[in-house]
Structure 1
Amino acid sequence: MRLIKKFLGEILRGIAKVIGTIIDSLVQLIENMVLFVGSFFKGCLALMSMGGCLFFLIFANLGFRILMNSMGLSILLFLLVFLMFGGKFVSYLKYLKYITTEFLYNTANYLIDGTNHQYKAFNEYKAAYKKAEEDKIREQQRRYYEQQRKWEEGCKQQWYQQNHQSGQRTYGGYSNQGSYGHSFVNPTVEFKNRYERSCDILGVAYDADKTQIKSAYRKKAKEYHPDLCKAPNATKIFQEITAAYEFLSDDNIQQYKNIN
């Protein structure tokens, strides 16, 4: 009986690994497809904006033919729906992977070593995942408000130093060191500018989510990796791409949304 339980446990471990691999592959595929479809529609809009009236007439004629064709209309609607809900589907797949694989791994460990491992029901992993997501959101909010508080304190200190120095007077023909040549920088504006510069480097929209940012980073990093790209400035561009991706963290994405 003990050997049978161990055997079943090893089978469940294998199934969990296969499920995890399949879902990871689907997530990667959908992320790339969302990026491709988004780039396709952006490219069409860019061509329309650059092509003028002539291109608009040609594009409108082509678009009318596509809309009149049932297959073309179905494909167009599918791409639009896919672009709208692709990110949400990726999030659901990650949720499905977590609750399924964790349950299977836990059950496998329980069967292999039942005396030292506690069995947990499937619903417990659903609750654990939701709680982890809620804790993550609360932690992001806490970090945001903490950073805002530090920025406000920094603004007050800069304002005080600037006004204190500019209020100093000159004596005996000598001028004190003042705030001449130094300008007050709003940390919120500075953060927003850096965030948007990072998005421009990766070639994503300012309201892009983490999935789109990650896909764009992988594409850019592969294109400009020093081992693959022979351009003389490949190393510098690769470093800028990496720095931009690191700056576009989940916390900064949420912070940028709150600013806007």
Structure 2
Amino acid sequence: MKKIFGKIIHGLATGIGSFFNVLINIMNVIVVTFEGIRQLLLMLFIVGCSTIFIFPIIPLLLPKEAMYFIFAVIFIPILGPKFISLLRYANYTLTEWMYDRADSMITGQKVGYESISDYSNKYKYEQEQAQRRAREEAARRQQEEMNRRFEEFMRGFSYTNSNAYGEYYQNDYNNQGYGGAYNGPQNIGFKEKYEKSCQTLGLGYDTDIYQVKLNYRKLAKKYHPDINKDPNATEMFTKINQAYEFLTEENIKKYKQNFS
């Protein structure tokens, strides 16, 4: 009976996801269309103001329907993207929760998170990470452009030690983390400690900081000495805390860059 109910939920999740996707696509078309109209009206307004002094009076002579349309042209491009973002958030949170509940019923094993709020938090976290990566990529490109311009500037000089300076600059550039991989004997110890920490918290090596925090909270509660009276609980609780302290966002990124 649970398997049948799970398949029904899975089908509903697919239908809801398709509905959200259609709605998002429609809103994208509307926003793009109204943005184009807004740009056209803005251009006409600027041209009209520079050539005909009475142009600003024209809106006062328009019927109410035309004024409503102008207000829509002004505000839809501003509010539309926020509404689309809200639709994507609702789509991800609801459908992912339903899919995991359906898979849990079909397989008889726990899949995903306990609460729908966990999916909400994960979506927000992933969006924040995507924005952070976009900022980092923009900063990297800006740095590369500055380096390129600097090198072009330096080529205009004929210093005898330009070669040495170029090597120094490139080494400094690599040491700042913009190029090259992190190498050395300490890499071996780092890799082993990272993988052991992931195993302690029941995580895959491709985990993220959100999943680290989620698993830590569950295991810390389970093995807390005040709750768990098992003789090994205190030792396990210590290991869990050590693993959590090691699995920082920086160390996760470092492992993925060098060992994934």
* TM-score of the two chains, using structure 2 as the length reference: 0.53
Amino acid at match of 1:31: N
How far does residue 44 in structure 1 lie from its aligned partner after superposition?
A: 2.4
Q: State the partner residue of 1:127.
A: 121
Amino acid at match of 1:125: Y
- The answer as to 2:77 corresponding to 1:83 is yes
Mapped to 2, the partners of 1:70 and 1:133 lie a distance apart of: 41
Partner of 1:16: 13
Question: Matched residue pairs, number?
Answer: 162
For 1:35-54, what aligned pairs fall within 5 Å after superposition?
35-50=32-47
Identical aligned residues as a percent: 21
CA distance in 1, matches of 2:51, 2:136: 53
**Secondary structure, counterpart of 1:117 in structure 2:** coil
- Which residue matches 1:151? 145
Higher Rg of the two aligned structures: 2
2:60 to 58, 61, 64: 64
Report if aligned partners of 2:97, 2:116 keep a CA contact under 8 Å in 1: yes
Q: 1:257 matched to which residue of 2?
A: none
Measured against aligned partners, the alpha-carbon deviations of 1:5-46 in whole angstroms (never above 9, x if no partner) come to 111111111111111111111111111111111222222233
1:85-138 deviation line (CA, Å, top 9, x unaligned)? 001111111111111110111111011112263553101101101111111122
Q: Deviations over 1:129-181 (max 9, x none)?
A: 1111111122222223333333333333222222128xxxxxxxxxxxxxxxx
CA contact (8 A) 2:38 2:73 kept: no
Give the unaligned 5+ runs of structure 1. 166-260
State whether residues 103 and 120 of structure 1, in contact with CA within 8 Å, keep that contact through their aligned partners in structure 2. Answer: no
Corresponding residue for residue 29 of structure 1: 26
Paired residues for 1:175-194 under 5 Å? none
- Give 3-state SS (helix, strand or coil) of 1:115's partner: coil
Report the TM-score, using the length of structure 1 for normalisation: 0.53
Aligned with 1:162: secondary structure? coil
Letter in 2 for 1:32: V
Q: Which moved more, 1:142-151 or 1:93-102?
A: 142-151
Q: Are the aligned partners of 1:110 and 1:119 in contact in 2 as well (CA < 8 Å)? A: no
- CA shift in 2, pair 1:164/1:64, >3 Å: same
